[in-house]
Structure 1
Amino acid sequence: MEPAQDFKSFQERIQKSLVTTVKTVNRLAAEDLDFQRTVNRDVAEQLDEKSQRILDLSSRLLKSAASACGLKAPTFEDVDDIDLNWRGVVDVVDTVLEKADTALDEYTGLIKRKEPPTGDSAPEPKKLKPSAKVVRNANITKPQAHFEIPPDNFPTGPWKPILTKKPHATVPLEESLVTFKNGGGSVQYKHPYETEISKGNYPQHVFEESEPIPYQPVEKTKPTWVDTYEGVLDMLVHLKKAKEIAVDLEHHDFRTYNGLVCLMQVSTREQDWIVDTLQPWRHRLEILNEVFADPSIVKVFHGAYMDMIWLQRDLGLYVNGLFDTYFACELLGFPGRSLAYLLSTFVEFTADKQYQLADWRMRPIPDEMMYYARSDTHYLLYIYDNVRNRLLTSSDRSKPETDLITRALDKSREVSLYRHEHPEFNESTGEGSRGWYNYILKHGHMALNAEQFAVFRALWKWRDTAARRADESPNFILGSNNLGQIARVNPPDMKALHSLLPVSPPIAKSCLNEIWDQIRATKAEGGPSLLQFLTSQAPDSLKKNGVPQAVKASTSWPGIDGEVDVAIRDRSQLFGNMPISSRWEGSRVSSNRQDDYVPFPWQRFVEETSNGDALAESAPEATEEPAVTPAAPEVVDEPDQEFTLKRGKKRKAAPAEEDSSSSEESGSKDEDVGVAEDEAMQDVEGGVLDLREDQPKRSKNTKARKAEKRAREQEGEAESEQKSRKSERRALKEQRRQEKKDKEAEGGKQFAAVPFDYSQAASVMNASRSGGGAAVEKTKGKKGKVYDPYAKSVEEGVKGARKAPPIRGERSATFKK
Structure 2
Amino acid sequence: MNANSFKELQESIQKALVDTTRSAGQLANEDLAFHCASNPAVVPLLERQKSRLLDLVNDLTKVATKGTEVAAPGISDAEAIDDKWGGLVDVFDSLLEKADVCLDKYTGVIKKEGPSKPEKPTGAESVVIQDRLSRAKLRKPQLLFANPPSNHDTSPFKPLLKSKPHALTPLEECARPSKLPNGVASYAQPYEMEIKAARTSSIISTKREPVPYLPFTTTHATFVDTLEAVDVMLEELKGASEIAIDLEHHDEHSYIGIVCLMQISTREKDWIVDTLKPWRQELQKLNEVFADPNIVKVLHGSTMDIIWLQRDLGLYVVGLFDTYHASYALLYHKHGLAFLLKRFVDFDAAKKYQMADWRVRPLSEGMFDYARSDTHFLLYVFDMMRNELIDSSNLTQPGEDLLEEVMQKSKQESLQRYERPSYDKDRGEGLGGWNSMLYKTPSAFSREQFAVFRAVHQWRDTIARNEDESPSNLLSKKNLFSIARELPMSLPSLLACCHPLSKELKDHKHDLLRVVHKAKKDGKTGPEMRDFFRKGPSKADDQITVDGTTPFSKGVGAVIAAVRSQTPLPLRAKASQFWGSTLDDSKTGHPDKLAGHVGDHRLVLPLPDLTAEVFVDTKSPSASSLPGPIEPGSRAEHQYVKDKKVKENDVFVIRNSKKRKASDTRQESRDSDGASQNGASAAPEKMKLDTAAEDAEIERAERKRAKRQGRLERKLAKRENRSETQKGSAQNEPEPFDYENAPSVFHAKPTKEERAKNKGKAADPYAKSLNAPSGLPRVQRQTGGKSFTFTK
TM-score normalised to structure 2 length: 0.54
Residue by residue, what CA displacement relative to the aligned partner does 1:454-508 show, whole Å, maximum 9, x if unpaired? Answer: 1001000000000000000001211111110010011245664355344632322
- SS of equivalent to 2:436: helix
Matched, 1:473 2:466: no
Deviation at 1:188, TM superposition (A): 2.5
Q: What does residue 416 of structure 1 align with?
A: 414
Q: 2: distance between equivalents of 1:430 and 1:515? A: 19
Match of 1:272 among 252, 266, 270: 270
Matched, 1:528 2:527: yes
Residue by residue, what CA displacement relative to the aligned partner does 1:253-309 show, whole Å, maximum 9, x if unpaired? Answer: 000111010000101111110000000100110000000011111111000010000
Aligned partner of 2:258: which letter?
L
Q: Is the 8 A contact 1:159 1:420 kept in 2?
A: yes
Aligned partner of 2:605: which letter?
N
Q: What does residue 436 of structure 1 align with?
A: 434
Matched, 1:483 2:477: no
Deviation at 1:182, TM superposition (A): 6.1
Residue by residue, what CA displacement relative to the aligned partner does 1:110-137 show, whole Å, maximum 9, x if unpaired? Answer: xxxxxxxxxxxxxxxxx98896556344
Q: 1: distance between equivalents of 2:258 and 2:676? A: 104
Q: Is the 8 A contact 1:215 1:379 kept in 2?
A: yes
Deviation at 1:449, TM superposition (A): 0.8
Residue by residue, what CA displacement relative to the aligned partner does 1:528-555 show, whole Å, maximum 9, x if unpaired? Answer: 3333344445998899xx9957599xxx
Aligned partner of 2:530: which letter?
L
Residue by residue, what CA displacement relative to the aligned partner does 1:745-798 show, whole Å, maximum 9, x if unpaired? Answer: xxxxxxxxxxxxxxxxxxxxxxxxxxxxxxxxxxxxxxxxxxxxxxxxxxxxxx
Q: Output aligned runs, 1:116-265, within 5 Å.
A: 132-133=127-128, 135=131, 136-180=134-178, 186-265=184-263
CA distance 1:199–1:481, change in 2 (3 Å): same
Q: Is the 8 A contact 2:489 2:516 kept in 1?
A: no
Aligned length: 468
Q: Is the 8 A contact 2:649 2:680 kept in 1?
A: no
Deviation at 1:352, TM superposition (A): 1.3
Q: 1: distance between equivalents of 2:208 and 2:387? A: 7
Aligned partner of 2:227: which letter?
Y
- SS of equivalent to 2:278: coil
CA distance 1:711–1:478, change in 2 (3 Å): closer
- SS of equivalent to 1:351: coil
Matched, 1:511 2:508: yes
Residue by residue, what CA displacement relative to the aligned partner does 1:594-621 show, whole Å, maximum 9, x if unpaired? Answer: 22588999x9xxxxx9937989xxxxxx
Aligned partner of 2:528: which letter?
S
Q: 1: distance between equivalents of 2:281 and 2:295? A: 23
Q: 2: distance between equivalents of 1:129 and 1:408? A: 41
Q: 2: distance between equivalents of 1:362 and 1:705? A: 102
Aligned partner of 1:327: which letter?
H
- SS of equivalent to 2:370: helix
Q: What does residue 454 of structure 2 align with?
A: 457
Q: Is the 8 A contact 2:255 2:470 kept in 1?
A: yes
CA distance 1:178–1:600, change in 2 (3 Å): farther
- SS of equivalent to 1:357: coil
CA distance 1:128–1:229, change in 2 (3 Å): same
Deviation at 1:202, TM superposition (A): 2.8
CA distance 1:256–1:549, change in 2 (3 Å): closer
Structure with more contact order per residue of length (Cα contacts < 8 Å, sep ≥ 6): 2
Aligned partner of 2:502: which letter?
P
- SS of equivalent to 1:299: strand
Residue by residue, what CA displacement relative to the aligned partner does 1:85-142 show, whole Å, maximum 9, x if unpaired? Answer: xxxxxxxxxxxxxxxxxxxxxxxxxxxxxxxxxxxxxxxxxx9889655634443211
Q: 2: distance between equivalents of 1:551 and 1:706? A: 56
Deviation at 1:155, TM superposition (A): 0.5
Q: Is the 8 A contact 1:263 1:360 kept in 2?
A: yes
- SS of equivalent to 1:418: coil
Q: 2: distance between equivalents of 1:706 and 1:267? A: 100
Aligned partner of 2:526: which letter?
G
Q: What does residue 605 of structure 2 align with?
A: 611
Match of 1:299 among 291, 297, 300: 297
Deviation at 1:443, TM superposition (A): 2.1
Aligned partner of 1:414: which letter?
Q
Q: Is the 8 A contact 2:248 2:262 kept in 1?
A: yes
Q: Is the 8 A contact 1:550 1:599 kept in 2?
A: no
Q: Is the 8 A contact 1:327 1:408 kept in 2?
A: yes
Q: 2: distance between equivalents of 1:522 and 1:161? A: 39
Aligned partner of 1:322: which letter?
L
Deviation at 1:522, TM superposition (A): 3.9
- SS of equivalent to 1:261: strand
Residue by residue, what CA displacement relative to the aligned partner does 1:372-394 show, whole Å, maximum 9, x if unpaired? Answer: 11111111111111111111122
Q: 2: distance between equivalents of 1:247 and 1:348? A: 20
Q: What does residue 649 of structure 1 align with?
A: none
Q: Output aligned runs, 1:711-790, within 5 Å.
A: none
Q: Output aligned runs, 1:352-363, within 5 Å.
A: 352-363=350-361
Residue by residue, what CA displacement relative to the aligned partner does 1:56-103 show, whole Å, maximum 9, x if unpaired? Answer: xxxxxxxxxxxxxxxxxxxxxxxxxxxxxxxxxxxxxxxxxxxxxxxx
Q: 2: distance between equivalents of 1:434 and 1:483? A: 14
CA distance 1:506–1:421, change in 2 (3 Å): same
CA distance 1:519–1:310, change in 2 (3 Å): same
CA distance 1:678–1:292, change in 2 (3 Å): same
TM-score normalised to structure 1 length: 0.52
- SS of equivalent to 1:402: coil
Q: 1: distance between equivalents of 2:169 and 2:648? A: 107
CA distance 1:452–1:209, change in 2 (3 Å): same
Q: What does residue 402 of structure 1 align with?
A: 400
- SS of equivalent to 2:419: coil
After alignment, is 510-519 or 214-223 more displaced? Answer: 510-519
Aligned partner of 1:416: which letter?
S
Q: What does residue 288 of structure 1 align with?
A: 286
Aligned partner of 2:141: which letter?
P
Deviation at 1:679, TM superposition (A): 6.5
CA distance 1:710–1:537, change in 2 (3 Å): closer
Q: 1: distance between equivalents of 2:224 and 2:474? A: 34
Structure 1 stretches lacking a partner, 5+ long:
1-126, 553-571, 574-589, 604-608, 616-674, 686-703, 719-817
- SS of equivalent to 1:225: strand
Q: Output aligned runs, 1:54-73, within 5 Å.
A: none
Q: 2: distance between equivalents of 1:504 and 1:190? A: 42
Q: Output aligned runs, 1:556-575, within 5 Å.
A: none
Q: What does residue 447 of structure 1 align with?
A: 444
Q: 2: distance between equivalents of 1:216 and 1:597? A: 68
CA distance 1:614–1:387, change in 2 (3 Å): farther
CA distance 1:333–1:156, change in 2 (3 Å): closer
- SS of equivalent to 1:401: coil
Aligned partner of 2:451: which letter?
A
Q: Is the 8 A contact 1:550 1:597 kept in 2?
A: no
Aligned partner of 2:485: which letter?
R
Deviation at 1:705, TM superposition (A): 9.0
RMSD of aligned Cα (Å): 4.1
Residue by residue, what CA displacement relative to the aligned partner does 1:381-435 show, whole Å, maximum 9, x if unpaired? Answer: 1111111111112223344412111111111111011111111232233232111
Q: Output aligned runs, 1:62-141, within 5 Å.
A: 132-133=127-128, 135=131, 136-141=134-139
Q: Is the 8 A contact 1:227 1:276 kept in 2?
A: yes
Q: Is the 8 A contact 1:137 1:358 kept in 2?
A: no
Q: Is the 8 A contact 1:236 1:288 kept in 2?
A: yes
CA distance 1:500–1:548, change in 2 (3 Å): closer
Q: 2: distance between equivalents of 1:386 and 1:406? A: 16
